[in-house]
């Protein structure tokens, strides 16, 4: 029995020593390198992810600041701006100055005489009424996308005409300037020119300068036709152009209030809304226009 124990003890000691030797055996160098590379890769991925998150948060913050700035800018955008009044006011002032200034009056008579010499014995071309009417209708239906809806544009046009029809007869009655051909005393300002420039300015606002300049060319041609037909002096045309431009801006100033009156700011599901536009002609006064019926 003792012999057996003595024989087993050295064997256990040998196994214990071998276990200790195996535990103290160093880890291979290549394994440490791989572990270090793996740790470095994980750290780099974490740093990259953190940097991307910080960059995304910064971009979101910048976009939010830009949106808030745009909203605040739109909110505080003035309804009436000085540049909207400068040009029409200058045209009206220049046209009115020729009524009391002798030098300017002589200039308008010289321009009238030049047109009459150029026309000579040719027949007068009374086409400006139909050109104005066609321009008004075509500019509503034809062209690129506008800034405002069809309903808003029709409201602006109707309001612009209301402003012209209420203000210009008052000015005609106060000034009572005789037409160059002697037929009537309502030459100042030129109503047909005002109609044409109202359409031109509305198109410029709605569809940009490219379309606006095209209609402005037509409007200027209508003013020239008024002088060619001996129906208006140059100062009448200038004042009419200014009043037409000012009338359409006045209509846009009143548009937010009109939208509230007619309930156009409310989201409704009424599908029966519509517009009916009919041309009209008055044979007694030889004037043309159009009537508007709207289902709101």
CA atoms 245, 246, 249, 250: torsion sign: negative
For residue 279, what are the β-bridge partners? Answer: 290
Instruction: Return all residues near 54 (Cβ < 8 A) that are at least 6 apart.
Output: none
Domains, in order of start, for the chain: 83-267 (1.20.144)
pLDDT at 48: 74
pLDDT tens per residue across span 99-133:
888 888 888 899 998 988 877 776 666 666 677 77
SS3 assignment, position 240: helix
3-state SS, one letter per residue, for 132-187: HHHHHHHHHHCCCCCCCCHHHHHHHHHHHHHHHHHHHHHHHHHHCCCCCCCCCCCC
Find where tokens 């160098």 sit: 29
pLDDT at 100: 81
First vs last Cα of the chain: how many Å apart? 118
Q: Which two tokens stand for residue 172?
A: 């005609």
CA of 98: how far to CAs of 179, 193, 225, 240, 286, in Å?
14, 17, 20, 13, 28
On the question of pLDDT at 237 being above 90, the answer is: yes
Q: What are phi and psi of 206, to 5 degrees?
A: -80, -40
pLDDT tens per residue across span 254-278:
988 888 887 777 654 444 455 555 5
Instruction: Return all residues near 92 (Cβ < 8 A) that are at least 6 apart.
Output: 189, 238, 239, 242, 243, 246
Which band of pLDDT confidence, cut at 50, 70 and 90, is reported for residue 234? very high
pTM for the predicted model, two decimal places: 0.63
For residue 276, what are the β-bridge partners? Answer: 293
Instruction: Return all residues near 264 (Cβ < 8 A) that are at least 6 apart.
Output: 151, 152, 258, 296
How many residues does the structure list for the chain? 296
């Amino acid at each position: 029995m003792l012999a057996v124990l003595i024989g087993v003890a050295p064997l256990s000691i040998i196994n214990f020593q071998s276990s200790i030797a195996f535990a103290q055996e160093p880890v291979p160098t290549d394994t440490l390198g791989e572990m270090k590379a793996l740790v470095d890769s994980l750290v780099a991925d974490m740093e990259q992810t953190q940097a991307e998150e910080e960059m995304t948060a910064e971009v979101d913050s910048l976009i939010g600041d830009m949106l808030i700035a745009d909203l605040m800018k739109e909110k505080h955008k003035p309804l009436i701006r000085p540049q909207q009044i400068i040009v029409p006011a200058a045209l009206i002032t220049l046209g009115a100055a020729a009524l009391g200034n002798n030098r300017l009056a002589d200039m308008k008579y010289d321009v009238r005489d030049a047109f009459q010499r150029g026309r000579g014995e040719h027949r007068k071309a009374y086409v400006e009424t139909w050109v104005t009417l066609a321009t008004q209708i075509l500019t509503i239906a034809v062209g690129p996308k506008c800034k405002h809806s069809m309903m808003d544009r029709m409201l602006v046009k109707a309001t612009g005409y209301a402003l012209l029809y209420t203000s210009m007869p008052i000015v005609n009655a106060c000034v009572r300037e005789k037409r160059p051909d002697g037929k009537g005393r309502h030459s100042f300002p030129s109503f047909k020119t005002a109609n044409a420039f109202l359409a031109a300015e509305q198109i410029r606002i709605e569809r940009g300068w490219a379309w606006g300049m095209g209609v402005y060319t037509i409007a200027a041609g209508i003013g020239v036709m008024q002088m060619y037909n001996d129906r208006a002096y140059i100062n009448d045309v200038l004042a009419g152009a200014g009043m037409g431009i000012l009338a359409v801006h006045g209509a846009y100033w009143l548009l937010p209030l009109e939208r509230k009156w007619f309930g156009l700011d409310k989201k409704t599901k009424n599908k029966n809304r519509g517009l009916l536009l009919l041309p009209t002609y008055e044979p007694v006064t030889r004037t043309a226009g159009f009537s508007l019926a709207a289902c709101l």
